Amino acid sequence: MADIHPTVIIDKEAEIADSVSIGPYSIIGPKVFIDKDTKIGSHVVIHSHTKIGKGCQIYSFASIGGSPQDLKYKGEETWVEIGNYNIIREYVTINRGTARGGGITRLGDHNLLMAYVHIAHDCQIGNRVILANVATLGGHVEIEDCAIIGGLTAIHQFVKIGAYAILGGKSGAVKDIPPYVTAWGPRARLYGLNLIGLKRHGFAPEVIKALKRAYRLIIYAKKPLKEVIAEVKADPIFAVPEVAHFVEFIETSKRGVPRR
């Protein structure tokens, strides 16, 4: 049986699973679907067209499913999709997608969004991502699994952040940040691999060694990027899946990646 405070307002088109709890003065709008065991605090607004998975925790004053902050948006039916076991802290805002951007803002599973995080329209967030306080994502940002974004950090629209990367606090990312690296700065630069993170996640020493070589060859090279990537692809380290991912990310980057 759902535990819903009597002050909660729920639209007749919303669907709330059993075992969901909703705190005082929250508002659940039309076409909202909330799966079992999710807990919603007080004064939360879930505007409309939002799907929330099971076991999530959403804290006070979060605003989810609001219209995209995009002047091209003309009221099309677009969505927010939130996976399972996410923690969404106070004052987080997550906007719906746009028709031009694919129509869905998506958050995977087991993510932590700290207070005042903003996720703009059409962002695609993977699994086990951490967004620290006041991290701000422009539209169409993509963040791969297990990345960490520091507090007070702004990510430019259409930027992509790679898996297991860490972007330090008070940074501004205007270019793509490759997987497995550490980046920081007002126009974020690369500062080597995220060695602590890779070790914590159990990456084998030989994988880390191969990534180090790939990083040196690509990031420090003074040759044209296309030429350097061809050399890495011919190197035995390219057989390591993580190296192949690192190279493919850089090769297909649309905004480019920081290089020395």
Q: At 220, which amino acid appears?
A: Y
* Phi, psi torsion values for 32, nearest 5 degrees: -110, 130
Beta strands 189-193 and 181-184: pairing type? Answer: antiparallel
* Active-site residue, 185 included: no
Q: Residue 107 forms beta bridges with which residues?
A: 82, 125
Closest CA to 35 of 93, 83, 73, 88: 83
Q: Residue 104 forms beta bridges with which residues?
A: 79
Give me the catalytic one of 97, 122, 140, 156: 122
Scan for tokens 């990027």, then name that residue.
225
**Mapping DSSP to helix (H, G, I), strand (E, B) and coil, where does residue 228 land?**
helix
* Active-site residue, 108 included: no
Give me the catalytic one of 23, 55, 139, 197: 139
Give me the catalytic one of 121, 140, 156, 245: 121
Round to whole Å and give the CA distance between 89 and 121.
Answer: 19
* Active-site residue, 121 included: yes
Which residues are known to be catalytic? Answer: 121-122, 139
